[in-house]
Structure 1
Amino acid sequence: MALSISVLLVLVMLGSSPVHSLDCALHPSHGNLETFMLLSQMERISILSCLKDRTDFSFPQMLVDGNKFEKTEATAVTHEMLWQIFSLFSQRGSLVAWDETLLDKFLAGLHQHLDDLETCLEEEKNLEQLPQGSENSRLAVKRYFHGINLYLEKKEYSRCAWEVVRVEIRRCLFFISELTRK
């Protein structure tokens, strides 16, 4: 229940923010760094105490093996990854693992990125068709996050499981940063 109220408050705060013009060129932004830093600050227990819980989530290699994404595909993949991260950290079980204030700020930052990317995707859809590879990449991202969700469920959403996931999501944010640099 508390998480639902927190998420609603974040959405209300975002809904009341002033409208701004959006530069849809993918580039690293201050917001990406802020989101990464918030996730880093969310550490509650040392990953060293959770080494027995580590696992290979099998990050989709097709996304990193030198793929040259078109701008539209990069936007779609980034949006899917951020949406999956937002959904993951919006789960009821995540509130137990994290400081509520940091979690709210983290979710608010993700929500803002998602809004911006949705606007860009709409503009790009009007100009061109999404490339065929885009759907394959998005499906790979969905499978990857499904595996993360199954891991959390198997580990009964323990603090160590969440810490392992937090570290993995930092990798995802780093990948997004690299993707937006290209």
Structure 2
Amino acid sequence: MLHFQQNKVNKESLELLKKMSGIFPSQCIRERTAFKPTQEVSQLPLFQKDNAKMAMQEILQEIFNIFSKNLTQSTWDGISIVRFQNRLYQQIQQLEACLKAQMEKDLTNPESEDLQHTSWRVKQYFQGIDAFLKEKQYSLCAWEIIRVEIPRCFVLTDKLNRSLSN
């Protein structure tokens, strides 16, 4: 059930990201090369099945945190932004409930070394996004560049989600 729900909400979130702004502004194309993430999100390690839910929750929480920042300079559709944030929040809550149930059922160690390393790398990736937004003073172009980057994170959560169903 979790697999189906996460897949559906991921697709909805991607659609809302597109609806927020529409076409990437041509004046931002030159600035696109200014965004140099500390690592490609696709290079984050794929996780053991036991940790996939935790990794998904961490990635979604970080996306939520980014999109809860200073959006005042964006010209995005406010309704789409709120819906996007709500979808993320719902996903995070579902994963947290699932993780809590899993922890109670089996005595998995959530603080494993692999998970700590993965968590650190996820946080480092999103700190790079946050630093870029701050450096560009949350400009329209900076937000547009991040809006184009975030779908890569959803691709990774889809991979994690598929690993849960296998």
Instruction: Assess same fold via TM > 0.5.
Output: yes
Contact 2:21 2:77 in 1 (8 A): no
Residues 73 and 139, structure 2, Cα contact 8 Å, conserved in 1: no
Aligned to 1:30: 8
1:157 paired to 2:138: yes
- What corresponds to 1:72 in structure 2? 50
The more displaced of 114-123 and 48-57 is 48-57
Q: Equivalents in 2 of 1:34, 1:60: separation in Å?
A: 20
> Take 2:6 and 2:66, find their aligned partners in 1: how far apart are those partners?
23
* Helix, strand or coil at the partner of 1:42: helix
1:86 corresponds to 2:64: yes
* Long gaps (5+) in structure 1: 1-22
Identity %: 31
Any runs of at least 4 consecutive aligned residues in structure 1 with deviations exceeding 3 A, and if so which? 23-28
Alignment of 1:8-157 (within 5 A): 23-24=1-2, 29-44=7-22, 46-54=24-32, 55-57=35-37, 58-60=39-41, 62-64=43-45, 67=46, 69-91=47-69, 93-97=70-74, 98-126=76-104, 127=106, 128-130=108-110, 131-157=112-138
CA distance in 1, matches of 2:127, 2:139: 17
Cα deviation digits, residues 68-91 of structure 1 (max 9, x gap) = x22231111111110011011111
The residue identity in structure 2 corresponding to 1:160 is C
The total of aligned residue pairs comes to: 156
What is the deviation of 1:102? 0.5
Could you tell me which runs of 5 or more consecutive residues in structure 2 were left unpaired when the two chains were aligned. Answer: none
TM (norm. structure 2) is 0.84
Q: Counterpart of 2:21 in 1: which secondary structure?
A: coil
Displacement after TM superposition at 1:28 (Å): 5.0
Q: CA RMSD in A?
A: 2.0
TM-score (norm 1): 0.77
Question: Aligned equivalents of 1:96 and 1:44: distance in 2?
Answer: 16
Greater shift in the superposed pair: 156-165 or 167-176:
167-176
Between 121-130 and 109-118, the greater mean CA deviation after superposition: 121-130
